[in-house]
Structure 1
Amino acid sequence: MCIVIRKAEVKDCPGIFDLITELAIHEKHQDQMKISLEKFREDGFGDDTKFQCFVAECEENGKCIHMEDIYVVPEYRSKGIGSKLIGSVCKVADLQNCGRVQFIVRDSNKSAMKFYKHQGAIDLTEVQEWHLFRLTSDAIEKVAAKYD
């Protein structure tokens, strides 16, 4: 299987939006989804972009991966895709001299917390329902270097 990580394009919006929806359902927060596909497209690919996004494609079927925390559909987990996605994010952070990468993880998502800790992230909020993780300069460089 060949996985290619690339910066998302406007044509990816429907697939990414589907994954955002799937993640919200998985975390039982679909009632909190306030964004429409059109607003997502505008915020990510309009004149005043609010975020960057990467997708992972399998050349066999073209499935996309959405970066929210990092969400990989179940049938593709444990194949290194999440590591490649976070590596791509860290590469951008490293090139732009960012001091940290942060993300929030639901308290119930123990596998994600374990994954992020394995990458070198620090759990800043162990006692709260949401966990804030940060990759600092050293960890960003280490993860980014794995994907040169």
Structure 2
Amino acid sequence: MSFTIRHATKADCKNIWRLIKELAVHEGKLQQVMQSYEDFEQDAYSQKPWFESLIAEVPKENKSQKGFTTVGLALYYYTYSTWKGRSVYLEDLYVMSEFRGFGIGKSLLNTLAKVAREKQCVEMKLNVFGQNSHSRAFYAAQGAQDVTVLENWHTQRFNAEMLDKLANKAP
């Protein structure tokens, strides 16, 4: 099946939002999608965007059962490691189920790696749900290392309530 990978534009925002919600349903986490589409669009396409996206498109003759030609997404942003330097964080990699197995996910990942190296990033980071053995195997097959196992690093998070508590203690 033929497809193209390209950088997303503001005109793609509704399709990106649709794919994000599909991913949330796929992961059984739709209730965790709490922001509005309007906030998402603002974060994506303001003067200083919070993230960037790559999308995968198929020709119209290969559109999805629901009529979509945008069938995959890699949403990412840049971070910084004080020990290593520039990094890219892959927040979401998603391909619609009917388009899996055609190399679209690999192409999105490869294209993001190319973008990262062009930006002189030294590493790509991402999180995978522990129970998602298919995704863990996919990333491992591409050369990803599980740093929880390898280096004993654990992801920590402060939710909005805890951020408020911490912020209220600031001088």
Pick the TM interval, shorter chain.
Answer: 0.7 to 0.9
- Larger RCO, structures 1/2 (Cα 8 Å, 6+ apart): 1
Q: Deviations over 1:9-37 (max 9, x none)?
A: 11111111111111111212111112211
- In structure 2, what is the equivalent of residue 65 of structure 1? 72
* SS of the residue 1:35 aligns to: coil
Task: Tell me the TM-score normalised to structure 2 length.
Answer: 0.70
- In structure 2, what is the equivalent of residue 113 of structure 1? 136
Partners in 1 of 2:71 and 2:48 — Cα distance? 24
Query: What displacement does 1:109 show?
Result: 1.2
Query: What displacement does 1:115 show?
Result: 0.8
Percent of residue pairs identical: 36
1:122 is aligned, of 142, 145, 148, to 145
- How many residue pairs get matched? 129
- In structure 2, what is the equivalent of residue 19 of structure 1? 19
- The answer to whether the Cα contact below 8 Å between 1:23 and 1:71 also exists between their aligned partners in 2 is yes
* SS of the residue 1:108 aligns to: coil
* SS of the residue 1:107 aligns to: coil
Q: Deviations over 1:66-111 (max 9, x none)?
A: 2243111111101000010001110011111101111111112111
- In structure 1, what is the equivalent of residue 121 of structure 2? 98
1:84-95 matches, within 5 Å, as: 84-95=107-118
Partners in 2 of 1:40 and 1:64 — Cα distance? 19
Task: Tell me the TM-score normalised to structure 1 length.
Answer: 0.80
Query: What displacement does 1:120 show?
Result: 0.7
Where structure 2 has 5 or more consecutive residues not aligned to the other structure, the ranges are 64-68, 75-90, 156-171
- In structure 2, what is the equivalent of residue 142 of structure 1? none
Query: Which residue identity does 2:93 align to in structure 1?
Result: I
Deviant stretches of 4+, over 6 Å: none
